[in-house]
């Protein structure tokens, strides 16, 4: 029998996470718990700290204060003598492997083809055999609808196609948490849907935990199991998408949604 009284460790557990650039506070003592399998859309104005939140989770930025736990393990820190001290790069990498990220600007490797982009890290970081990696990579490219573009270089692909390769590349590392940072903001309007539908498909077919920063409000409502509204480095409101987009409790959430949804969803 499994002990039933031990709760599973949360996918993410943030306590008092702060980040400032000079005198500008970007994250202000943030607390957040994310259960495994949750899909959280994060909305808010530019500069509200949503992208920085994803970047500290990916260890692209160091936090000034607070702690981050990923499935029960501290990220970038380790407890020592009753307090947290900076972790070694190896310790950080061991925890960071649970997290993957898709960027606004795709950030594909320009000197590698689509399939090479996807299998680079599985082969060299995870030491997967190249045959096995290639099969998995092709399957992932198939999932994002780009099997026929496997041998194209990023330059030869449209923005939407590049972003779908980037999603496949992130998934190839089999992260338990995936971060989407405004993944459609750099795309031509007619290319947005092809990327969103890939993420929608992923949401339906997997139990991977997702944090999605987006300006696409309809998508933020439809894909998520939970929505967070951020302002000035704080979580202002955190509730079910139906509540946030239907009848938000906070005036600041209402005023933000009114300003971006002038004409409705």
Partner 1 sequence: MTALLDLLPQLMKGLQTTLLVTAFAAPLALVMALVSGLARLAPIKLLQWLAIIYVELFRGTSLLVQLFYFFYVMPLFGMSLDPVTTGVLVLALNTGAYGSEVVRASIGSVPKSQREACIALNMSPAMALRRVIFPQAFVTMLPPFGNLLIELLKATSLLSLITIFDLAFAGNTLFQTTGRTLEIYGLVLMIYFATAMVLTLGMRWLEKRMGAGRDLEFRP
Residues 169-198 that bind partner 1 (CB under 8 A): 169-170, 173
d(Cα 256, Cα 144) in Å, to the nearest integer? 33
Region of 99-107, 134-142, 206-214, 256-264 interacting with partner 1 (CB under 8 A): 99-107
Binding mask 108-147 for partner 1 (x = CB under 8 A): xxxxxx------xx--xx----------------------
Residues contacting partner 1: total by CB under 8 A: 34
Q: Please select the residue that binds partner 1; options are 41, 48, 77, 161, rule is CB under 8 A.
A: 161
CA-nearest of 190, 188, 244 to 217 is 244
Q: Does 58 bind partner 1 (CB under 8 A)?
A: yes
Q: Does 76 bind partner 1 (CB under 8 A)?
A: no
Q: Does 241 bind partner 1 (CB under 8 A)?
A: no
Contact 39, 209 (CB under 8 A): yes
Contacts of 37 (CB under 8 A, 6+ apart): 11, 207, 208, 209
Contact 259, 52 (CB under 8 A): no
Q: Does 47 bind partner 1 (CB under 8 A)?
A: no
118 or 217: CB nearest partner 1: 118
Q: Does 96 bind partner 1 (CB under 8 A)?
A: yes
119 or 220: CB nearest partner 1: 119
CB of 111 to partner 1, least distance (A): 5
Q: Does 60 bind partner 1 (CB under 8 A)?
A: yes
49 or 154: CB nearest partner 1: 154
Q: Please select the residue that binds partner 1; options are 75, 101, 199, 208, rule is CB under 8 A.
A: 101
DSSP string of the chain, one letter each residue: ---SSSPPPPSEEEEEEEEEETTEEEEEEEEEEE-TT-EEEEE--TTSSHHHHHHHHTTSS--SEEEEEETTEESSEEEETTEEEEPPHHHHHHHHTTEEEE-TT----TTS-HHHHHHHHHHHTS---HHHHHHHHHHHHHHTT-GGGTT--GGGS-HHHHHHHHHHHHHHT--SEEEEESTTTTS-HHHHHHHHHHHHHHHHH---EEEEE-S-HHHHHHH-SEEEEEETTEEEEEE-HHHHHHS-SSHHHHHHHHHH-TT--
Region of 55-63, 212-220, 228-236, 251-259 interacting with partner 1 (CB under 8 A): 55-63
49 or 100: CB nearest partner 1: 100
195 or 235: CB nearest partner 1: 195
CB of 173 to partner 1, least distance (A): 6
Interface residues with partner 1 (CB under 8 A) are 58-60, 89, 93, 96-97, 99-101, 103, 105, 107-113, 120-121, 124-125, 152-158, 161, 169-170, 173
């Amino acid at each position: 029998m499994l002990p039933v009284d031990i709760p599973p460790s949360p996918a993410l557990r943030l306590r008092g996470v702060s980040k400032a650039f000079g005198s500008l506070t970007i994250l202000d003592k943030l607390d957040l718990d994310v259960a495994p399998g949750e899909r959280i859309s994060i909305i808010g104005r530019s500069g509200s700290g949503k992208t920085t939140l994803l970047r500290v989770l990916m260890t692209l930025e160091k936090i000034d204060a607070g702690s981050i736990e990923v499935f029960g393990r501290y990220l970038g820190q380790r407890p020592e003598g009753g307090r947290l001290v900076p972790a070694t790069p190896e310790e950080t990498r061991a925890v960071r492997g649970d997290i993957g990220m898709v960027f606004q600007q795709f950030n594909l490797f320009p000197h590698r083809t689509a399939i090479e982009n996807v299998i680079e890290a599985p082969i060299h970081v995870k030491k997967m055999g190249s045959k096995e990696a290639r099969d998995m990579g092709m399957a992932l490219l198939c999932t994002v609808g780009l099997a026929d573009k496997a041998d194209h270089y990023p330059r030869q692909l449209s923005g939407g196609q590049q972003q779908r390769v980037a999603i496949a590349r992130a998934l190839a590392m089999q992260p338990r948490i995936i971060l989407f940072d405004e993944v459609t903001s750099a795309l031509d309007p007619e290319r947005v849907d092809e990327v969103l539908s890939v993420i929608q498909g992923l949401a339906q077919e997997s139990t991977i935990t997702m944090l999605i920063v987006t300006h696409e409000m309809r998508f933020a409502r439809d894909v998520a199991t939970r929505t967070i509204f951020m302002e000035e480095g704080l979580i202002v409101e955190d509730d079910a998408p139906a509540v946030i987009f239907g009848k938000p409790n906070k005036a600041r959430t209402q005023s933000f949604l009114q300003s971006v949804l002038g004409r409705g969803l």
